[in-house]
Structures are given as C-alpha cells and as structure tokens.
A and B are shown apart, each in its own frame.
Chain A
Amino acid sequence: MTNRVLFNILQALVVLCFSPLVVGILNRLKEIVQSKRGPSVFQPYRDLLKLFSKDEVVPEESTWIFRVTPYISFVAPIFVALLIPVLTDYPLFWAFMADMVGAGFVLALAGFFATLAAVDTGNPYGPMGASRTRMVGFLAEPIFLLVFFTVSFVADSTIPFIVQQKWVHPISNFFAPSHILLLIAFLMLILAEKGRLPVDNPSGHFELAMIDESKDLEYSGPSAALMKWGGWMKFMVLMIVFLNVLLTPWGLASTLDWSAVLLAIPLVLLKVLGFVIFLVLIESSLAKLRLFRISEFMSAAFVIAVVAMLTSAFSW
C-alpha cells in the first residue's frame, strides 16, 4: 500500500521534473533541423529559475481570476499525472479517483481559467488569442469524446490503467482498426490542443497570429513561470497518454518493487524522445494552416474518429 502511494507521487514528480527537459529537447532538435545550433536542452530550467527570481507585475484592472489561474494551470496536469499510467502498468493508489473523462475535465478546467484570465486583463491581444483557443477547443471537444467513448467501448473500462492492457493482450488487438485510427485521431488532437504545427506555430511571436501562446502574454515573474511550466506539463501528460495508454504500453513496471519502477523512468523518457523526434519531423515539414482551414483539419480528425468507432462497433 505504501509503495502504491509513493509510486503515484513519483509519477507526478517525473512529469514535474522532466517536462522542461522534453520541451528543451524538442526546441533544440527543431533548431538543429533548421541548421542552427539552438539553445541548450536545459534552457527551460534556466528560464524557470530566472522567472521565479523576478518581480511580478499585475494589471490594475484584473481580478482574483488573473491571480488564481497560474496555480490552477500548474496543479491540473499534476493531478492528471496521478490518474494515468506514467510508470506502472497496474493501477496505483489514486487510479480510481477519476477516469479518462474526469482527467479531460480537469485539463479543461485549466483551459477555462486560462481563457477567463486572458479576458480579465483588458489587453486586446489576450481575448483574441483566447477566443481562437476556444474555437480550436470546441472543434476538439467532440473528437476527445469520441476517442474516449471508442476506447471505453473496446476496453470495457474508462480507467486508463486498465485500457492500456487491452491493446496488447492478445497482440493482434494492436492492429485492430479502432486502435490505429484512434491513434491518428488522437495525434491530430494533441497537435491542435497543444498548439503545434500545422494548427498553430509555437515559435511564432507575432501577437496577431498567435493561438495558444497569447493566453499568458500578460503574466510576469513567478506567475509566468507557473503558466509555462503548467503548459509543458500538460504537453507531457498528453504525450504520455498517447504513448503509454494508446500507442506503446510496453516498458512499464509490472511489479511492485522499486527497481522496476525506477527502470521504467528512462524507458518512458526514451519513448517520449522517440515521439519528440516524430513531432520535429511533422513540424519541420508542414506549414501552418490558415485560421479557417483549422476546421478542415479538425473535421478530418473527427471523421477518422467516427470511422474508428464504426469499424469497432460493427465488426463481430
């Protein structure tokens, strides 16, 4: 029992500590592909240190929402990290606290507060970015739900720890169309949800074209650090859901001892590295879509998710 609690906390710590590194590696690799040297992979840690040691400025007109939001967007991904299989393939202490839909709600809560905070400041760019984020968000919502419904329909469960076992026992399940098509739809969803290319350019600094980045424009000092860190953790949590629950449920600890769980950390990071390389390939070979073509991208993902549901529901 103690171990289950400790491992669960360890999962959250892994996400907390390694998410800046993952983003640093992603940025470095992108620069290398563009024949530049790029910043060190530890640059995100330095950014966080710098921001935490700075003073904070808060807009006069803003309310408590603006001040609370950084804490919510920081805590929400940690909370989700307790619910998903980051390191182990058996349910941990808090696994049954909420299912996948519950985890989605928690992440959506953070997004909701980020939107409110962007509107709260009175800066014209914040609300603009926030409304775009909402546009992408409400197009993403039905896909999220369809993916979750199909997964729980196939696996007879909505707890991610149990779902992941379904795809590899027996191994032929891995090639079921519901699985592969869900992977495609969920990948498109991650790209949209975290504002990566082709939906949004994460390295763009032009306020008029920003989608995901513009929400935390007004934050400074420790609040900005919390917002950034929360965003990176959300990115890593989504990647881990994709990798550990859907794509490759291998390399996780299956026994209750420390050595297995500690060994799982480098294996999971290796998988994340592989995914980051894949992401760099996508981001380096695609251009950003025009704003009104995002709906085409999302409707393609939606239709793929529906096909996944149909082929799994009617193939007996």
Chain B
Amino acid sequence: MEHMPPMLAHLNELAAGLFVVVALGIVATRQVRACLKFFVLQSFFLASSALLLGLAASSAHLMAVAAINVGAKVVLLPWLLRRLLKDEVYTRREITQVVSVPISLIIALGLIVAAYFFTLPWLDAVSATGACRINVPVGLTGLFLGAYTLANRREALPQLLGLLAMENGAFFAGVAIAPDLPLIAELALAFDILVVAFVVGVLTRAVHEHTGTTVVGALDELREGGGE
C-alpha cells in the first residue's frame, strides 16, 4: 500500500476528512433523525475508504469489507431501527445534551488534536507510510468522538449511535493497519452490530413504554410509588 496512485490517495484522504466531519455532526446535531443520517454517512465514508484501499492494493478482501459495511450499516441498521422505533426516529423533536453545542464542538476539536498527537509519534516509530498515516489518526478520532457522544448524550438512540461510531472509528484504522483480517471476523462483527442495535432498540422501546420517554439519562434516580 506504499505506492498508492495520487488520485486514490487523495480520495482516501477526502473520505477520512469527511469521516471526521460527520463524526462531528453526530456529536453536535440536535435531532435524532439527523444523528442517524450522520451515522449512515459515516459508515458510507468508512466503506469508501475500504473500497479505495482495496482498489489501491487490488485486494478483493477489502472490497468485501466495504460491501459488508454498506450492507450492515447503511442499509440494514437504519431499516432495523426505523422498524423498532418508528415514532422515536421520526419525530423532529430536539434532544438534550449535558454540554452545550459550541462547547461540545470545541471539546471535540481538542479530541481530534489529541488523536493526532497520540498517533503521530507511534506512526513515526514504526515508520508507517501511505494510508496508515491518514487512517490511524482519523480512526482514533472517530473512536474518541464516539466515546464523547456516548458520555454527552442523555438519549437512548444517540447513545447507541455513539457506540457504533466508536466501532466505525476502530474499523477505519483497522482497514489500513490489518487489511488481511479474516473475512469471517468482519462478518461476525457486522452481525454483532445488528444484534447490539436490535437489543438496544428493544430495550429503548421497553423503556419508552414504561416511562413515556427515552431520556435514559434521567433514569438514574430511584422514585417511590411506581409509574404515573
């Protein structure tokens, strides 16, 4: 992968840049539906990076990874969530955050810089070249921003999306570091994601039926007297 054609290399960088931008969208957006759309876009950019690296190395394996990603996260996952949580996903209501949006974005910026700061010495130490220099810091960025979303949101579905965004970040670094991971592992992972989404979806529905809300951040207090 050291000798990528400049066009593919730049397109891969572009996918990486947009990957970070939509991760910021997941952090900062106020609507559940927009959050889901940003996640779908992020998975799409992950798949395109895998596809571009696959084209550069002419490896059918990475292209299969891209196809699995598109199938599981761009098509199946939104469909599953929409079936499970119809009104939840489609309502245009705004969701709350612990930290306000501009401050969240500044914190996210700090996390991005930190991701570069942590990975660059390591990349220099192993004298990595080519796609690794892009994908590893950006993947770590995706991981950090997903974790931050998980901490910052109080809503069930955005928390799930934060978790899955972390997984996307790990994958984004993975396609560059370990392009030869066995296909069965990728398949299992894609299946795992659907199971996680399914479980969280069912749980959220149960919480919604029980308490009338999906603000799971508000469930940390014990109340006397049962439901209203």
Give Cα A171–Cα B7 distance, bound, in whole angstroms. Answer: 8
A177 B13 Cβ-Cβ under 8 A: yes
User: Would A299 and B13 be within 8 Å (CB), given that A172-B7, A175-B7, A316-B133 are in contact?
Assistant: no
Does B28 make an interface contact (CB < 8 A)?
A: yes
User: Would A311 and B10 be within 8 Å (CB), given that A299-B105, A303-B24 are in contact?
Assistant: no
Q: What 0/1 pattern do residues 167 to 179 of A give for CB contact below 8 A with B?
A: 0001111011110
Does B225 make an interface contact (CB < 8 A)?
A: no
B120 A314 Cβ-Cβ under 8 A: yes
B101 A306 Cβ-Cβ under 8 A: no
Enumerate chain B residues within 8 angstroms of A304, measured Cβ to Cβ.
21, 24
Q: Say whether chain B's binding surface is mostly helix, strand, loop, or mixed.
A: helix
User: Would A310 and B116 be within 8 Å (CB), given that A177-B14, A300-B28 are in contact?
Assistant: yes
Give Cα A177–Cα B10 distance, bound, in whole angstroms. Answer: 7
Cβ-defined partner of A299 (8 Å) among B14, B21, B101, B137? B101
Enumerate chain A residues within 8 angstroms of B138, measured Cβ to Cβ.
311
Look across to chain A and name the residue whose beta carbon is closest to the beta carbon of B23.
Answer: A307
Give Cα A176–Cα B13 distance, bound, in whole angstroms. Answer: 7
Chain B, range 14-29, C-beta contacts under 8 Å to A: 14, 16-18, 20-21, 24, 28
Enumerate chain B residues within 8 angstroms of A306, measured Cβ to Cβ.
109, 112
Give Cα A295–Cα B106 distance, bound, in whole angstroms. Answer: 12
Central interface residue in A177, A304, A315, by most chain B CB within 10 Å:
A177
Task: For the complex formed, measure the closest distance between the CB of A136 and the CB atoms of chain B, giving whole angstroms.
Answer: 14
Enumerate chain A residues within 8 angstroms of B18, measured Cβ to Cβ.
177, 180-181
Enumerate chain B residues within 8 angstroms of A308, measured Cβ to Cβ.
17
Interface residues on A, range: 20 to 34
Task: For the complex formed, measure the closest distance between the CB of B165 and the CB atoms of chain A, giving whole angstroms.
Answer: 16
Task: For the complex formed, measure the closest distance between the CB of B168 and the CB atoms of chain A, giving whole angstroms.
Answer: 16
Q: What 0/1 pattern do residues 290 to 316 of A give for CB contact below 8 A with B?
A: 000001100110111011101100111
Does A270 make an interface contact (CB < 8 A)?
A: no
A181 B7 Cβ-Cβ under 8 A: no
Task: For the complex formed, measure the closest distance between the CB of B29 and the CB atoms of chain A, giving whole angstroms.
Answer: 10
Interface residues on B, range: 20 to 34
Task: For the complex formed, measure the closest distance between the CB of B187 and the CB atoms of chain A, giving whole angstroms.
Answer: 30
Does B227 make an interface contact (CB < 8 A)?
A: no
Does A184 make an interface contact (CB < 8 A)?
A: yes
Does B11 make an interface contact (CB < 8 A)?
A: yes
A173 B109 Cβ-Cβ under 8 A: no
Q: What 0/1 pattern do residues 108 to 123 of B give for CB contact below 8 A with A?
A: 1100110010001000
User: Would A314 and B137 be within 8 Å (CB), given that A296-B101, A306-B112 are in contact?
Assistant: yes
Look across to chain A and name the residue whose beta carbon is closest to the beta carbon of B120.
Answer: A314
Enumerate chain A residues within 8 angstroms of B137, measured Cβ to Cβ.
314
Cβ-defined partner of B113 (8 Å) among A177, A296, A310, A315? A310
A314 B116 Cβ-Cβ under 8 A: yes
B133 A311 Cβ-Cβ under 8 A: no
A307 B20 Cβ-Cβ under 8 A: yes
B16 A311 Cβ-Cβ under 8 A: yes
Enumerate chain A residues within 8 angstroms of B11, measured Cβ to Cβ.
175
Task: For the complex formed, measure the closest distance between the CB of B97 and the CB atoms of chain A, giving whole angstroms.
Answer: 11
Enumerate chain A residues within 8 angstroms of B108, measured Cβ to Cβ.
303
B106 A299 Cβ-Cβ under 8 A: yes
Can you identify 30 A-B contacts, CB atoms within 8 angstroms? A172-B6, A172-B7, A173-B10, A175-B7, A175-B13, A176-B10, A176-B13, A177-B17, A180-B17, A181-B18, A295-B102, A296-B101, A296-B102, A296-B105, A299-B101, A299-B105, A300-B24, A302-B109, A303-B105, A303-B109, A304-B21, A306-B112, A307-B17, A307-B24, A307-B112, A310-B112, A310-B113, A310-B116, A311-B16, A315-B13
**A residues within 8 Å of B by Cβ?**
170-173, 175-178, 180-181, 184, 295-296, 299-300, 302-304, 306-308, 310-311, 314-316
**B residues within 8 Å of A by Cβ?**
6-7, 9-11, 13-14, 16-18, 20-21, 24, 28, 101-102, 105-106, 108-109, 112-113, 116, 120, 133-134, 137-138
For the A-B complex with A178-B17, A300-B28, A304-B24 known, give 19 more contacts whose Cβ atoms are closer than 8 Å: A172-B7, A172-B9, A176-B10, A177-B16, A180-B18, A299-B101, A299-B106, A300-B105, A303-B109, A307-B17, A307-B21, A307-B112, A310-B112, A310-B113, A310-B116, A311-B13, A311-B16, A311-B20, A314-B137
